[in-house]
Amino acid sequence: MLQLTHIEKTYTTGEIQLQALRDVNLHIQAGMMVALCGPSGSGKSTLLNICGLLNQDYFGEVRFAGELLMRDYRQAMEIRRTHLGFVFQKFNLVPVMTAFENVAYPLLLNGLKAVEVKRCVMAMLDHVGLIKFAHYRPDRLSGGQQQRVAIARALVHQPKLVIADEPTASLDSETAEQIVALMKSLGREKETAFIVASHDDRMTLHCDKVIHLKDGVIQLEENLCAA
């Protein structure tokens, strides 16, 4: 579903050039849960930003559902809006919007009618166990609850792929456990693929594939279960 071939990424800051990714090849199949591990600075976020079509300044080829990306802003935006979901370490909810409004946002971008939006958002909030908090703003929710809202927002439009950058890094271990289990069960139900950058061993236990990155190079790719 997402295929990266010979990806090279260099950051240029003034005179300094830093090669963040070297000849990265990656294939994420539908419904697959992929963990991306590696020390800080190894290029995980850079790789996720390319997978999420947030950064198109790279060498190499990216194909989404077989279609070669032309580094076209509108094409990328269209694919993000319809097929991708995002979860971040710091949750990144919109502070002035309620949990309901945060989750509704991707559906509004996709032009759904109000009745449909309400039905989907309430079903999704129910799934993540937050129906009672629908009208709370993020500052009244705990970290784990905020991340559950973020997961609901990432999945509400039934994306093909969710990109999660250190989704459990700001959470205590018990909450992290619940978040990992939640992502896994929701992903399985809807056949959503996940690529998750994480230091968290619990995450890798739940994944179909683990990719180890170091200094921008894939060192090892483990297939944990046959698809």
List contacts with Mg ion (CB under 5 A).
44-45
Do residues 208 and 187 make contact, with C-beta atoms less than 8 angstroms apart?
no
Site map for ligand ADP, 4-43, x if CB under 6 A? Answer: -------x-x----x-x-----------------x-xxxx
- Comparing CB distances to Mg ion, the nearer of 45 and 98 is 45
Query: What residue 18 binds from Mg ion, ligand ADP, none (CB within 5 to 8 A, per partner kind)?
Result: ligand ADP
46 binds ligand ADP (CB under 6 A): yes
Query: What residue 173 binds from ligand ADP, Mg ion, none (CB within 5 to 8 A, per partner kind)?
Result: none
Report the chain's C-alpha Rg in angstroms.
Answer: 17
CA angle, residues 220, 20, 31, in degrees to nearest 5: 50
- Comparing CB distances to ligand ADP, the nearer of 87 and 120 is 87
180 binds ligand ADP (CB under 6 A): no
**How many of the other CB atoms lie within 10 Å of CB of 5?**
14
- Residue closest to 28 by CA, chosen among 55, 78, 82, 66: 66
Do residues 159 and 85 make contact, with C-beta atoms less than 8 angstroms apart?
yes
Member of 2, 24, 33, 44 binding ligand ADP (CB under 6 A): 44
